Amino acid sequence: MNPNAVIELHNVAIFHQEDELKEANFGRHGRMGDMVLSDVNLEVYPGEMVYLIGRVGSGKSSLLKTLYAELPLKEGLGRVVGFDLRRIRRKDVPYLRRRIGIVFQDYQLLTDRSVFNNLRFVLRATGWKNELQIRSKIAEVLDMVSLQNKEYKMPYQLSGGEQQRLSIARALLNNPQVILADEPTGNLDPAAADGIMQLFASIVSRGCSVLMSTHNISNIQQYPAKTLRFHQGRVTEIDLHSVLGI
């Protein structure tokens, strides 16, 4: 394995999970479904942006779930920010997730808490105790995502783009080495989506890697980066100029 890579997969198979049998905790999965990807080989390095493109059901989300250990890795070799995905124990999964950030299409915010308290909740849950340090960290990430004057707003008072910025701020709280983003612009209008892409470009420039599944081809063209196509059970790197032909 390459010690410089933040994500490394060799000869990995990815399986769908049968959602009706799924339980919330790692290690209590329902029966694994059909194999959706085979022979996946991937290396992601610090400060690298990687796009995942392909049809719905092609395996993009399943791959991301495997990387943050919601789905177990059963075949092949995988390592994410130093954690061996084949050997990781259930009790170690929270420590893996503290070293990565996860951003979802639907934000997954705590709707009954303010912007500040959404972020404070995560810091307290991950072991932060000093209130001055908590306040300082929250101010830092809100400044990074341009929400510095919104800390006492409720999520419903924010636009869709602002809610996604808050979810990105949440992902940044514990200084992740990599962010996994599953269709982060899927619910946004073009202007808000472009703002999110600019934000990710800024995050990458600071040395944090971003692995993003997306259907937004115009964003890929405007912010070119390594692009992986998911098609017929395989993952292949493609020339960005061929994206419109898929």
Q: Which residue stretches of the chain have pLDDT < 50? A: 20-30, 246
**Is 59 among the domain residues?**
yes
Q: What is the CATH number of the domain that holds 102?
A: 3.40.50.300
pLDDT attached to residue 18: 57
Confirm whether 112 is domain-assigned.
Answer: yes
- What is the per-residue pLDDT for 20? 36
**Range(s) of the domain holding residue 109:** 47-71+97-245
Q: What's the pLDDT at 217? A: 82
Residue 241: what pLDDT?
65
> Is residue 149 situated within a structural domain?
yes
- Whether 87 maps to a domain, the answer reads no
pLDDT digits (tens, 9 = 90+) for 121-167: 999 999 999 999 999 999 999 999 999 999 999 999 999 999 999 99
Number of domains present in the structure of the chain? 1
**Considering the domain boundaries, does residue 37 fall inside one?**
no
Q: What pLDDT, on a 0 to 100 scale, did the predictor assign at position 146?
A: 96
Q: By the 8 A CB rule, do 43 and 103 touch?
A: no
Residue 138 lies in a domain: yes
* CA pseudo-torsion sign 20, 25, 29, 30: negative
Within a domain: 165:
yes
Question: What distance in Å separates the CA atoms of residue 176 and residue 209, rounded to the nearest whole number?
Answer: 9
Q: Please give the Cα distance from 35 to 11 (Å, whole number).
A: 13
**Looking at the domain assignment, is residue 41 inside a domain?**
no
